[in-house]
Amino acid sequence: MTVIDANRMHEIETRYPEYFHRSFRQRFGGLMILIATLLYSLYAVWFFDLPKLFAEAHWERVGIYLSQWVSYDVQPEFRIEDDGSIDIRYPRFSPLGDNPHPDWLVNNPDGSITVSISGTSRSVTVSKSETIVTAHGVSVPVDVSSGAPKVVGPVPGWMTVYDDNVLADLGFAGNVSISVDRVKIRKRFIGWANFIFDTQSSFFDKPVREVVSLIVSGPRIKPDQSNLSLAFDDIWNNSEWQHGDVWTKLFQTIVMAFLGTLLGSLTAFPLAFLAARNITPNRLLNQILKRFFDFLRSVDMLIWALFLTRAFGPGPLAGSGAIFLTETGTLGKLYSEGLENIDNKPREGIKSTGAQTVLVHRYGIMPQIVPVFVSQTLYQWESNVRGATIIGAVGAGGIGLKLWEAMRTNANWENVAYMVILILIVVFIFDTASNALRHRLMGTKAH
């Protein structure tokens, strides 16, 4: 065991004062950061009134919207006529088409109609005098023979009785609204209805094998058009899913991002040489260009899009212009900072040979900056594909506008899901491609 005397201890303290005489910040800095973070969190809770916000939020809508992303419903309506007959009607744009005969609807010998909502566990039987709702292991009759619907027996928790109708909530499977003269049923199905062919298509409601057979070797449905061409037209012009319009708008978004990023990089590249202090030794010009870059990128892309849609009208031109202005500022700053951080030795060596300025830049600067510039530009392009979707919602064209229109109806959430998935796929592809190109240019391995 080594014993350190007072002189040795004093010598160690003198040599390493940062360990023995720590400042107030060093001793209590971590604790102060923790306290500041806690105080800020409490302030944010008070400022945004988070308890009230969470208490009044409509959390039930989350489940409703998510279910509508992956499902669709059919809404038959049963009208009880004066003669006791039951007339079945469907909405005008029913996913079942103009002449539906679903197998989950059965006409009984006694004149009643039974609708299977979810197998045999949830069903509705409609007759002229009563409607029987079977769910959760019980069957509840609702008398409709008098002036108002009346539940016979105890009212279960999943039923709500109003003055003129009774509402039965059957969960995800659907619901039933019962009044004296009509019964409305909402039956939910998993999947996307008529995603390939809509109800107006000649291939609608045909089995896959029959559709393939018609396309490959079947007789022409329309004498002046092949079945393959007809099938493509029906898919592309699907009135419910609008594949043609969605894919065209998606391509517009990609072109907007590409054009805006390309023009921004081409404009920022020469300006960055003028803004870099070590390339252009003119302080006034350096500062003017750098403040110009700050101005362009400090105005958000969304704000630029709003300005340009007022100037040029809605469309992809406004979107491309908004990306161009933002990217000129962003890439100009990145490029100029990259130039200011280059190794000046190759440049000085070439300059010492008496080479012209263009050759000095070509051989002394470009080999150092090209991989970095291309990497930064690819990353911005990938980011702008996402940004172009957002600015499309304010009228700048592309799939963003289409997405906003679908969300605004509050009824086409399956179409919203379709477009979101397409956007995710495109972003994933561009992310993968740009990462591969960046790693190749930088000479590193992709993980």
The predicted pLDDT at position 9 comes to 66
CA geometry: angle 8, 11, 12, nearest 5 deg: 90
Q: Which CA distances in Å does 227 have to 198, 205, 216, 223, 237?
A: 16, 16, 8, 9, 15
The predicted pLDDT at position 330 comes to 93
DSSP 265-299: HHHHHHHHHHH-TTTS--HHHHHHHHHHHHHHHHS
Q: By three-state DSSP, how is residue 375 classified?
A: helix
The answer to whether 404 and 395 have CB atoms below 8 angstroms apart is no
The predicted pLDDT at position 43 comes to 92
Give domain status of residue 370, yes or no: yes
CATH label of the domain that carries residue 326: 1.10.3720.10
The answer to whether 108 and 99 have CB atoms below 8 angstroms apart is no
Q: By three-state DSSP, how is residue 151 classified?
A: strand
Give domain status of residue 164, yes or no: yes
Q: Which domain holds residue 336?
A: 243-442
Domain boundary among 124, 155, 190: 190
The predicted pLDDT at position 312 comes to 82
DSSP 49-105: THHHHHHHS-THHHHHHHHHHSEEEE--EEEE-TTS-EEEE--TT-TT-SS---TTE
**Residues 247, 183 within the same domain:** no
Give domain status of residue 209, yes or no: no
Give domain status of residue 320, yes or no: yes
Q: What is the mean pLDDT of each run of 10 residues along the chain (447 residues)?
A: 64 66 72 92 90 84 81 90 85 84 88 86 90 90 86 90 90 90 91 90 89 88 89 92 92 90 93 88 90 91 88 84 93 89 77 76 78 84 86 81 82 86 88 78 61
**Residues 139, 288 within the same domain:** no
**Residues 421, 299 within the same domain:** yes
**Residues 159, 273 within the same domain:** no
Give domain status of residue 317, yes or no: yes
Give domain status of residue 57, yes or no: no
The answer to whether 362 and 283 have CB atoms below 8 angstroms apart is no
